[in-house]
């Protein structure tokens, strides 16, 4: 009802709909959902507030469309890279390739959308922190399969580690990934300018290196359980 498939396709002229999506993505990703008004988005896109209603009906609908736009391509890219990674023979290299297959699409473009991978991942991080209902629903039904696939693949590379530990560690990976996109300036600040938190390539290398080591850590249960907690008790 909305698109017009006549003649030479579409998406040729400066598309207002796309401008609104891009502006919303950027604003949501940096300020959160509730802090951004429809009017803010319209203004940033050079559009009229009513135009947002026309294209996306509601503010939730706009968020939903942003997710629809990115989830598919990013999942596809991850699946491709995961499939390639699983073909790596050397076990150590394979683990690293799997982690890379998970991380890279989150930092770089998920499709041909202009460099939007990192922006969308940051958006996901913010929505997750805010407990956004729309996001929670679509994320659980879109990404859980992929997450399981990665967890299984990692588990195959590290069969001596219990699956529970793998789940925790991949959860930590996602948290680290999110946080790197949310506050890259903190890295620059704490490193006193020696590192650039906004440098995606650098962040990826650091994250992959650290995460591979984390996955390879000994399992919790069998790691000298009588020796744990050397200094600290849980209450003062």
Partner DNA sequence: TGATCTTTTGTACGATAGTACAAATCACAT
Partner DNA sequence: ATGTGATTTGTACTATCGTACAAAAGATCA
Report in angstroms how near the CB of residue 39 gets to a second copy at its nearest: 15
The per-residue b/e assignment along 141-151, b for 16 or more CB within 10 angstroms, e otherwise, is ebbeebbebbb
Site membership for DNA, residue 57 (CB under 7 A): yes
The per-residue b/e assignment along 182-210, b for 16 or more CB within 10 angstroms, e otherwise, is bebeebbeeeeeebebeebeebbebbbee
Site membership for DNA, residue 92 (CB under 7 A): no
Residues 121-160 that bind a second copy (CB under 8 A): 125-126, 128-131, 140, 144, 147-148, 151
Give 63's contacts (C-beta < 8 A, 6+ positions apart).
24, 28, 33, 127, 132, 134, 135
Q: Which of residues 4 and 87 has its CB atom nearest to DNA in the complex?
A: 4
How many angstroms separate the Cα of 226 from the Cα of each of 113, 161, 220? 52, 19, 11
| Number of residues lying near a second copy (CB under 8 A) | 83
Q: Which of residues 48 and 190 has its CB atom nearest to a second copy in the complex?
A: 190
Report in angstroms how near the CB of residue 164 gets to DNA at its nearest: 40
Residues 179-198 that bind a second copy (CB under 8 A): 179-180, 182-183, 186-187, 189-191, 194-195, 197
Site membership for DNA, residue 60 (CB under 7 A): yes
Residues 36-75 that bind a second copy (CB under 8 A): none
Residues 17-36 that bind DNA (CB under 7 A): 17, 36
Q: 131 contacts which partner out of DNA, a second copy, none, CB within 5 to 8 A by kind?
A: a second copy
Q: How far is the first Cα of the chain from the last one, in angstroms, to the nearest whole number?
A: 64
Rounded distance, CA 187 to CA 116, Å? 22
Q: 24 contacts which partner out of a second copy, DNA, none, CB within 5 to 8 A by kind?
A: none
Among 93, 114, 141, 222, binds a second copy (CB under 8 A): 93
Site membership for DNA, residue 141 (CB under 7 A): no
Q: 37 contacts which partner out of DNA, a second copy, none, CB within 5 to 8 A by kind?
A: DNA
How many angstroms separate the Cα of 163 from the Cα of each of 190, 207, 216? 34, 21, 13
């Amino acid at each position: 009802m909305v698109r017009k498939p006549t003649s030479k396709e579409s998406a040729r002229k400066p598309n207002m709909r796309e401008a609104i999506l891009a502006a919303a993505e950027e604003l949501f990703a940096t300020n959160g959902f509730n802090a951004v008004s429809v009017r803010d988005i319209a203004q940033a896109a050079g559009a009229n507030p009513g135009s947002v209603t026309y294209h996306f009906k509601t503010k939730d609908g706009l968020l939903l469309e942003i997710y629809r736009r990115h989830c598919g391509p990013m999942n596809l890219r991850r699946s491709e890279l995961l499939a390639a990674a699983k073909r790596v023979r050397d076990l150590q290299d394979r683990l690293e390739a799997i982690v890379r297959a998970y991380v890279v699409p989150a930092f770089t473009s998920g499709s041909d959308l202009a460099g939007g991978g990192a922006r969308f991942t940051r958006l996901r991080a913010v929505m997750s922190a805010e407990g956004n209902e729309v996001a929670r629903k679509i994320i659980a039904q879109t990404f859980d399969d992929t997450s399981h696939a990665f967890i299984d693949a990692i588990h195959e590379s590290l069969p001596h580690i219990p699956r529970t530990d793998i789940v925790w560690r991949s959860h930590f990976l996602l948290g680290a990934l999110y946080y790197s996109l949310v506050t890259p300036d903190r890295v620059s600040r704490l490193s006193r300018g020696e590192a650039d938190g906004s440098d995606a390539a650098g962040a990826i290398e650091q994250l992959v290196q650290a995460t591979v080591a984390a996955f390879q850590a000994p399992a919790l249960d069998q790691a000298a359980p009588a020796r744990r907690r050397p200094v600290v008790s849980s209450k003062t």
